[in-house]
């Protein structure tokens, strides 16, 4: 073997520096991506929550606990008449939990499909009770906790359904962007432009062709998630696949659209921290949306993965049917798809102009 | 009239930023000819072809394609065959699959499709490679497949941007025979090339320079335009004496050692000359298009 020569190492290093110096996008990515990602992760991991929808049924007593819950500004309190109202609203996903104050004890109803939120509510009730305990020492007041959903859920169970969406979104986005880059670089796209094929037909053809693979991919992931990791599938597998297909179609047109801003496969890879990672952090898969700081939260609500994750959790963990997730989840996914379908189609033409 | 030409361009302009690529270009290409666009790199040949199929919009001027204004060219894409410098093939599809894909795009019926594929693969000599992946073909084969795909829908107008790059001389010959057959059927072929011997095979040659048409005509006309004549080289025993004799009759003559070089107005003059001098050896040098273009470039 030849001995390493410092001079040659220097030649290679110099070339790398020269190339990078001209690649402003990569420099931008090296400098700004960590800042953006650290801010996102930092906020999401801070554990602070806001906008937790808590039902309160006040049948008397526990003034200190009640005052404590009301004083927590991260809780949006909704006053309810009965336990059955609370249960209904939780099962519809409109409440994250409820506290029933009764003279003989306290009942806490929780939705464990987000463990962090149910943990936060339980902790707040504990804190309130300990204040109350301080004011009337001696008597033990029972707290009964009841899970409306998922009393037996583990971390994987709540994350699993969303991972199904994430996997499909990630691969479809990357594959579609690369496929369109290739159409451009090998000259086929230009040839399409001079053929009877319209832009709408090109993008539609891609959606149709990719759907087959999306279906295959989501079916395998679903099998692994349910049989391999024991995540419950209480709703219909077909409904889950329908959600994933719609998400995949959105990822495809998004990838097609963003391929216009990349010149090579290398640059497509650079989209991962910019487009995929924020979705992972902000879509409520690992951390509930309530823990996303309020000024970023509107952003969560324009990301398709937010709706797909929500719908998939509803189908798999709560047994929701297609009618239950039509609004807002399927509607939002549909709108996202249509917007980027139009954008991708228009960009194909613009690129030629 | 626009209807009289396969392609007609009048005062066509196109700039990219401050760079003027097409500068008041005028071209008329008749139906049923092979028209060759020649010119140095960056002279605007490819830009012109892209403008014909409306892959870019003109800044000014008028253009018609197959009798339609260029703004309506989208409606006659099925009559145009366009071969770009990128080969526009799918390397991970086989030769046959690539052909089928393009046949499908143009809605060619299943029965007709197989017939066309057979004929074209025969022409480009790829019939034995039907099931090979396009990505595994050599550069020249890839080029040939690209041409076959461009011809699949029997276009009326063929726009070929350097179609013979990397193709061996024998196959180039076959291509040119095929183009001749197409023009015989009334189809129009517009071709760009750097190869002068190919230009000589075209009925009309247009020489572009800096976005304008610097010279246009049949290869013979171009030679005449550049003032190039056939030359006769004579090896003579007494060059000085014979040169003086011929010069006296008005011939344009140069003497270099024992060789006398005469410029001819026509080939008929050779006979007259040989009646007066008896050379030890002689050679006729025909003018080359290449020379003509070099001279035209210098003049411009």
Residue A241: phi, psi to the nearest 5? -65, -35
Domain ranges of chain B: 2-217, 229-288
Within chain B, where are the H helices? Answer: 45-52, 95-105, 110-123, 139-151, 169-184, 196-199, 219-225, 239-248, 269-276, 289-299
B89 to A188: CB separation less than 8 angstroms, yes or no: yes
- Any domain includes A136: yes
Contact B145, B126 (CB under 8 A): yes
Tell me how far CA of residue B56 lies from CA of A263, B22, B70, B73, B80, in angstroms.
20, 12, 11, 12, 16
Residue A351 touches partner B, C-beta closer than 8 Å: no
| Domain shared by A163 and A254, yes or no | yes
- Any domain includes A36: no
Residue B147 touches partner A, C-beta closer than 8 Å: no
With a cut of 70, say whether residue B1 has pLDDT above it.
no
In tens, the pLDDT along B69-112 reads: 999 999 999 999 999 988 899 999 999 999 999 999 999 999 99
B192 closest CA partner among B165, B222, B152, B224? B165
* Final residue of a structural domain among A149, A182, A200: A149
- How many angstroms separate the CA atoms of B35 and B158, rounded? 10
Least confident of A280-294, A324-338, B145-159, B175-189: A280-294
* Final residue of a structural domain among A117, A149, A181: A149
- Any domain includes A9: no
Least confident of A48-57, A107-116, A210-219, A334-343: A107-116
- How many angstroms separate the CA atoms of B284 and B92, rounded? 52
| Domain shared by A164 and A304, yes or no | yes
Q: Between B57, B80, B89, which is nearest A194 by CB?
A: B80
CATH class of B229-288: alpha beta
**pLDDT value at residue A137:** 57
Residue B105 touches partner A, C-beta closer than 8 Å: yes
Determine the average pLDDT of the residues in B194-208. 87
CB proximity list for B207: less than 8 A, separation 6 or greater: B38, B39, B213, B214, B215, B216, B222, B293, B296
- Any domain includes A250: yes
What is this model's ipTM?
0.82
Please tell me the distance in Å from B55's CA to the nearest CA on chain A.
5
| Domain shared by A340 and A258, yes or no | yes
Q: Which run of H or of E encompasses A144?
A: strand A143-149
| Domain shared by A132 and A194, yes or no | no
DSSP per residue, A91-104: HTTS-SEEEEEETT
**pLDDT value at residue A34:** 81
- How many angstroms separate the CA atoms of A243 and A312, rounded? 7
- How many angstroms separate the CA atoms of A141 and A289, rounded? 33
- Any domain includes A27: no
Peptide bond into B207 cis (omega under 30): no
**pLDDT value at residue A41:** 78
- Helix, strand or coil, per DSSP, at residue A229: coil
| Domain shared by A127 and A181, yes or no | no
| pLDDT-above-70 percentage for chain B | 99
* Final residue of a structural domain among A116, A132, A149: A149
Q: How far is CA B244 from the centre of its chain?
A: 43
Residue A191 touches partner B, C-beta closer than 8 Å: yes
| Domain shared by A239 and A315, yes or no | yes
Range of the domain at A254: 155-352
Burial group, residue B242, by CB count within 10 angstroms (0-12, 13-18, 19+): buried
Contact A101, A90 (CB under 8 A): no
| pLDDT-above-90 percentage for chain A | 46
Least confident of B79-83, B101-105, B128-132, B216-220: B216-220
- Any domain includes A129: yes
With a cut of 70, say whether residue A135 has pLDDT above it.
no
Same fold for the pair B2-217 and B229-288? no
- How many angstroms separate the CA atoms of B62 and B10, rounded? 5
| Domain shared by A175 and A255, yes or no | yes
- Any domain includes A249: yes
- Any domain includes A298: yes
Helix A331-352 and helix A199-223, axial crossing angle in degrees, nearest 10:
140
Q: Between A185, A186, A197, which is nearest B105 by CB?
A: A197
| Domain shared by A301 and A162, yes or no | yes
| Domain shared by A191 and A256, yes or no | yes
- Looking at every residue in chain B, the average pLDDT score rounds to 91
Which is more confidently placed, A140 or A137?
Answer: A140
A142: DSSP letter: P
Would you place residue A350 in the very low, low, confident or very high pLDDT band (cuts 50, 70, 90)?
low
With a cut of 80, say whether residue A154 has pLDDT above it.
no
Supply the pTM of this predicted model: 0.83
In tens, the pLDDT along A31-67 reads: 888 888 888 777 766 767 888 999 999 998 888 899 9
What's the structural domain count of chain A? 2
Q: Which run of H or of E encompasses A68?
A: helix A63-71
With a cut of 80, say whether residue B160 has pLDDT above it.
yes
> Ranked by mean pLDDT, which of A146-150, B67-71, B228-232 comes out on top?
B67-71
With a cut of 70, say whether residue A351 has pLDDT above it.
no
Contact A96, A111 (CB under 8 A): yes
| Domain shared by A205 and A325, yes or no | yes
Would you place residue A353 in the very low, low, confident or very high pLDDT band (cuts 50, 70, 90)?
very low
In tens, the pLDDT along B243-300 reads: 999 988 888 888 888 889 998 888 888 998 999 888 999 999 988 888 888 887 777 6
- Whether domain B2-217 has CATH 3.40.50.300: yes
B12 closest CA partner among B204, B211, B215? B211
| Domain shared by A335 and A210, yes or no | yes
3-state helix, strand, coil in chain A (%, to 5): 70, 10, 25
Instruction: Report the DSSP beta bridge partners of residue A228.
Output: none
| Domain shared by A256 and A216, yes or no | yes
């Amino acid at each position: 073997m030849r001995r390493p020569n410092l001079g040659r190492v220097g030649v290679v290093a110099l070339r790398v520096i020269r190339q990078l110096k001209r690649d402003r996008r990569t420099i931008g990515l090296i400098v700004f991506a960590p800042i953006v990602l650290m801010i996102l992760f930092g906020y999401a991991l801070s554990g602070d929550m806001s906008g937790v929808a808590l039902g309160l049924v006040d049948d008397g007593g526990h003034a200190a606990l009640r005052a404590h819950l009301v004083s927590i500004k991260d809780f949006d309190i909704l006053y309810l008449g009965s336990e059955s109202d609370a249960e209904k609203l939780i099962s519809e996903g409109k409440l994250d939990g409820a506290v029933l104050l009764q003279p003989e004890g306290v009942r806490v109803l929780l939705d464990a499909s987000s463990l962090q939120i149910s943990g936060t509510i339980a902790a707040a009730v504990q804190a309130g009770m300990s204040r109350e305990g301080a004011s009337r020492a001696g008597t033990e007041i029972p707290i009964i906790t009841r899970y409306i959903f998922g009393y037996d859920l583990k971390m994987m169970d709540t994350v699993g359904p969303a991972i199904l969406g994430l996997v499909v979104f990630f691969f479809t986005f990357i594959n579609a962007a690369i496929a369109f880059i290739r159409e451009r670089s090998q000259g086929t796209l230009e040839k399409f432009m001079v053929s009877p094929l319209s832009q709408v037909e090109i993008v539609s053809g891609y959606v149709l062709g990719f759907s087959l693979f999306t279906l295959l991919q989501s079916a395998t992931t679903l099998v692994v998630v349910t049989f391999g990791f024991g995540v419950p599938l209480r709703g219909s597998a077909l409904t889950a696949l329908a959600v994933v297909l719609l998400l995949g179609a959105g990822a495809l047109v998004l990838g097609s659209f963003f391929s216009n801003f990349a010149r090579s496969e290398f640059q497509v890879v650079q989209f991962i921290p910019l487009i995929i990672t924020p979705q992972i952090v902000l879509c409520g898969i690992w951390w509930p949306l309530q823990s996303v700081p309020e000024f970023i939260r509107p952003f969560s609500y324009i990301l398709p993965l937010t709706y797909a994750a929500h719908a998939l959790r509803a189908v798999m963990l709560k047994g929701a049917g297609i009618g239950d997730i039509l609004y807002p989840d399927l509607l939002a996914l549909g709108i996202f798809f249509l917007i980027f379908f139009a954008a991708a189609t228009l960009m194909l033409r613009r690129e030629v102009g | 009239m626009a209807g009289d030409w396969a392609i007609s361009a009048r005062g066509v302009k196109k700039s990219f930023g401050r760079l003027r690529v097409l500068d008041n270009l005028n071209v008329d290409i008749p139906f049923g000819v092979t028209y060759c666009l020649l010119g140095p790199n960056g002279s605007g040949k490819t830009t012109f072809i892209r403008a014909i199929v409306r892959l870019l919009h003109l800044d000014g001027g008028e253009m018609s394609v197959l009798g339609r204004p260029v703004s309506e060219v989208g409606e006659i894409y099925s009559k145009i065959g366009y071969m770009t410098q990128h080969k526009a093939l799918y390397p991970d599809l086989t030769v046959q699959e690539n052909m089928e894909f393009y046949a499908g795009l143009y809605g060619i019926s299943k029965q007709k499709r197989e017939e066309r594929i057979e004929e074209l693969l025969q022409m480009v000599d790829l019939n034995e490679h039907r099931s090979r992946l396009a990505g595994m073909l050599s550069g020249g084969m890839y080029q040939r497949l690209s041409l076959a795909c461009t011809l699949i829908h029997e276009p009326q107008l063929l726009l070929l941007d350097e179609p013979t790059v990397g193709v061996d001389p024998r196959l180039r010959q076959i291509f040119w025979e095929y183009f001749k057959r197409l023009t015989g059927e009334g189809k129009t072929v517009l071709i760009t090339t750097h190869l002068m011997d190919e230009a000589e095979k075209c009925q009309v040659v247009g020489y572009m320079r800096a976005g304008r048409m610097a010279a246009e005509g049949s290869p013979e006309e171009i030679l005449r335009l550049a003032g190039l004549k056939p030359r006769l080289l004579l090896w003579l025993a007494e060059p000085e004496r014979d040169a003086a004799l011929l010069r006296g009759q008005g011939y344009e003559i140069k003497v270099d050692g024992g060789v006398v070089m005469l410029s001819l107005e026509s080939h008929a003059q050779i006979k007259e000359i040989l009646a007066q001098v008896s050379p030890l050896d002689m050679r006729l040098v025909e003018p080359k298009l290449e020379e003509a273009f070099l001279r035209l470039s210098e003049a411009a």
